[in-house]
Amino acid sequence: MPDKLTSVLTAKTEESSPELTEELIRVRAYQLYEERGCGKGHDLDDWLRAETEIAGKKPAAQAEGKEGGSIAAVA
């Protein structure tokens, strides 16, 4: 039986909607949570990683670091 992510991915995606994208991120973030052994306290990390994977973009901090920029602390 296919998992939920496979089902969502095989759905019609020609008209990619924000709702579909959010569902893909939600499912992937939950998979990451399970892969870590369901440890609590990393929900934001899981969400951001899933969002990055689904969007296919590098995290902003990595992009800045590779370009020689610095990450300034926000007070």
User: pLDDT per residue over 11-51, tens digit each?
Assistant: 544 456 888 999 999 999 999 999 999 999 999 999 999 99
pLDDT of amino acid 56:
81
Q: Is residue 72 part of a domain?
A: no
Q: Is residue 75 part of a domain?
A: no
Instruction: Give the chain's domain count.
Output: 1
Q: Is residue 74 part of a domain?
A: no
Of 27, 22, 26, the closest CA to residue 5 belongs to 27
Q: Is residue 71 part of a domain?
A: no
Query: How many Cβ atoms are within 10 Å of 50's Cβ, its own excluded?
Result: 20
pLDDT of amino acid 19:
87
Query: How many Cβ atoms are within 10 Å of 33's Cβ, its own excluded?
Result: 18
For the entire predicted model, the pTM comes to 0.57
Q: Is residue 23 part of a domain?
A: yes
Q: Is residue 61 part of a domain?
A: yes
Range of the domain at 16: 4-66
- Confidence check: pLDDT of 7 > 90: no
Between 64 and 24, residue with greater pLDDT:
24
